Amino acid sequence: MIRYILERLLQAILSLIGVTIVVFAMVNLTGDPSLVMLPEDATAEQIAMVRHELGLDRPLAVRYLLYLGDLLQGDLGTSIRGLASVPVGRIIAERLPATLELGAAAVLLTFLIGVPLGVYAGYWKGSSFDVAARVFAVLGQSAPPFWVGIILIIIFSIHLGWLPAGGRGGIIHLVLPASTMAWASIAGVTRLIRSNLLETLDTDYIRFCRIKGQSETNVIWKHGLRNAGIPVMTFSAVITASLITGSVITETIFTWPGLGKLLIDSIGFRDLPVIQGCILVFAAVYIVLNLGVDLLYAFLNPKVRVG
């Protein structure tokens, strides 16, 4: 177990270092930011001066090591957008709560809707409810999230006028963006819970529970779901990924002031430090959550725990 934890930890650290290299290399391919910052008729000397100020005239490897050194001290650099040099760390810290709020709401929706949907569909296999849930699950996994968001806005904001189409505010502002983000993962969880529950309900210990005279509620929700639910944990890595991806697109559609929108806006301005920072935070969240899920899974699964 300890060996497994250490191995997994090392892998996560390697991934993180890999991320910094990949991000640094990719971002430095996006073109010279000094050209965006200066007017078009800037002289060669002016360009050289700005490049020197930004440290862009140094070799790539040196710039990477400097970047990594700053990173370890918690310094993500300063934004090059606008005149005031604002630390990237502060910009991200300002935006992060909005993204976390949206993400948490989406996760909540995923489980609150996905789990019961999957359980009922699996329990009443072949019923019209089951058919409806399966159609929803298949459509949910095929529909592009950006399109779902737009259709939701057209229906609920423009035609019915029930919900706001953008901005951050109370719970009412959360409904549409969180539904858009959760859409695909609800479909995934429903499908997974349904098929796992079908398998679980066919086992001897469930039959034994029923012979013992336990109530159906107990059999399904306590014994059935507990076993059918474990694979959902492995699926949470997929959910996390889809939520991170989703936040970029959803925040853009709903003008939600979070990290995803910040990233897209910064790409337009070629604001390299901010782009690096956003990707790094997203990737770190993703890697750490994956690590947590793997370790928890190992802890819950005796085969891995002992072996």
The contact set with another protein (CB under 8 A) reads: 11, 14-15, 18-19, 22-23, 26-27, 29-31, 138-139, 141-147, 150-151, 153-154, 158, 165, 241, 244-245, 248-249, 252-253, 263-264, 267, 275, 279, 282-283, 286-287, 290
C-beta of 212: minimal distance to another protein in Å? 31
| Nearer to another protein (CB atom), residue 45 or residue 202 | 202
Question: Would you say 91 or 279 has its CB closer to another protein?
Answer: 279
Mark 252-278 as b/e (b = at least 16 C-beta within 10 Å).
bbbebbbbbbbbebbeebbbbbbbbbb
**Nearest CA among 167, 214, 220 for reference residue 196:** 220
CB of 90 to another protein, least distance (A): 22
Q: How far is the CB of 110 from another protein (least distance, A)?
A: 17
Closer by beta carbon to another protein, 15 or else 301: 15
Q: Which is nearer to another protein, 219 or 242 (CB)?
A: 242
User: Quick check: 196 and 228 in contact, CB under 8 A?
Assistant: yes
**Cα–chain center distance at 62:** 32
Give yes or no for a contact between 253 and 63, defined as CB atoms under 8 angstroms apart. no
DSSP class of residue 1? Answer: -
CB of 27 to another protein, least distance (A): 7
Closer CB to another protein, 165 or 219, in the complex: 165
> How long a stretch of residues is the chain?
307
Residue number with CB closer to another protein (161 or 170): 161
Q: How far is the CB of 18 from another protein (least distance, A)?
A: 3
Least separation in angstroms between CB 216 and another protein: 29
Query: How many Å apart are CA 284 and CA 278, to the nearest integer?
Result: 10
- DSSP string spanning 251-307? HHHTT--SHHHHHHHHHHHT-HHHHHHHHHHHHHHHHHHHHHHHHHHHHH-HHHHH-
Closest approach, Cβ 15 to another protein, in A, equals 4
In whole angstroms, give the CA distance from residue 292 to residue 239.
Answer: 14
Contact status, residue 272 vs residue 28, Cβ threshold 8 Å: yes
Between 78 and 290, CB nearer to another protein? 290
Q: Where are the alpha helices (H) located in 60-217, listed in sequence order?
A: 60-72, 88-123, 128-142, 145-152, 171-201, 204-211, 216-217
